[in-house]
Amino acid sequence: MEIAGVTLGVLLTALGLDVFLIPNKIAAGGVSGIATVLHYLLSVPVGVTMLVLNVPLFLMGLYRLGLRFGFRSLYGTISLSFFIDALDPFLPVLTHDPLLASIFGGVLVGLGLGLVFKFRGTTGGTDLAAAVLRTYTGANVGQLLFVVDAVVVLAAGLAFKSWELAMYALITIFVTAWLIDLVQEGFSYAKAFFIISGHPESIAFAILHEMDRGATVLSGKGAFSGSDRDVLLVVVNRAEVTRLKDLIRSIDSRAFVILTDAHEVLGEGFKPLAVKNNK
């Protein structure tokens, strides 16, 4: 099942690159961005170039990080390179508008990489490079990824002599990152309430008996007053948000309420917590 998920993710990523990004010279960071630049400068295949660039990264990863990346990472890296070159002759270029290409290419690549990560694989590239660099510098992986992608985008702008293409590449990077998070975390279908009130027992009782929802009592302490306070944590679906607000207001109109998105809620009353068999 996990290999099938990684394979689907790799296929979507290859489609995004072949149909939208590579034909429009959009080098949206990473190894694929470097390979796109080299493809136009040296007429070398993108997939083969990506594989060649990933070999030293994997060797460095094995040396600095050990075997923790596993079979799925090796499979994802090799299969992505294969699909990019194998599918390219048979796929149409759907648009030559760089804005449309940057958006839709980012969507497909983001969906694809999101699936690869969701099924615990990787496609090598700059995420592996950043992890290796971290062992030398100690810097945050996210910051290193941003720096590496920024360097690739700047290099592409210089190579193609077009800063507009570099800006379109930035759009793709943001769209891709957003889709990766969306695939892994899901849509924000639930809301979490943090309720600070002088009447926590009454509010909790009403939530339990009027809304048939659970509540968790957290221990808090006022920084200014120094007094102990109970903080209620309640998770509801979107349709119940207004009802809970009205309920809180009816009991304590001066309550302090923090409302935030809950991207994935597992357990009673929401999505069941599936037990994976790791054997």
pLDDT at residue 46, as a whole number: 94
Torsion of CA 211, 212, 218, 219, to 10 degrees: 80
Contacts of 242 (CB under 8 A, 6+ apart): none
pLDDT reported for residue 187: 65
Q: Which residue has the tokens 């290999």?
A: 3
What pLDDT score was predicted for residue 97?
96
Asked if 156 and 166 count as a contact pair (C-beta separation under 8 A), the reply is yes
Report long-range pairs for 88-97 (Cβ below 8 Å, ≥24 apart).
88/18, 88/22, 88/46, 88/47, 91/15, 91/18, 91/19, 92/19, 93/19, 93/20, 93/23, 93/24, 94/19, 94/20, 95/20, 95/24, 96/23, 96/24
Strand, helix or coil at 72? helix
The pLDDT value recorded for residue 249 is 94
Torsion of CA 154, 159, 163, 168, to 10 degrees: -80
- Written as one letter, the residue type at 205 is F
Query: Which residue spans within 75-205 are E strands per DSSP?
Result: 190-196
Structure tokens at 260: 């935030």
Axis-axis angle for helices 141-160, 30-42 (nearest 10) = 20
Per-residue pLDDT of the chain (279 residues; tens, 9 = 90+): 778 888 999 999 999 999 999 999 999 888 899 999 999 999 999 999 999 988 887 777 677 666 655 677 788 889 999 999 999 999 999 999 999 999 999 999 999 988 888 887 778 777 666 666 666 665 555 566 677 788 889 988 999 888 999 999 999 988 988 888 788 776 666 889 999 998 999 999 999 999 888 899 999 888 878 888 899 999 998 878 999 999 999 999 999 999 988 877 777 666 666 555 444
Distances (CA, A) of 144 to 85, 118, 139, 168: 29, 22, 7, 21
Helical H runs in 186-235? 200-210
DSSP E strand stretches across 109-264: 190-196, 216-221, 228-237, 256-262
Q: Token pair for residue 125?
A: 């590239």
Per-residue DSSP letter, 270: S
> At 32, which helix (H) or strand (E)?
helix 30-42
Question: What are the structural domains, with CATH classification, of the chain?
Answer: 2-185 (no CATH), 190-262 (3.30.70.120)
Which of the 8 DSSP states describes residue 199? Answer: -
Cα–Cα distances in Å, from 191 out to 70, 102, 154?
36, 32, 40
d(CA 124, CA 182): 21
- Concatenated DSSP letters of 105-134: HHHHHHHHHHHHHHTT----THHHHHHHHH
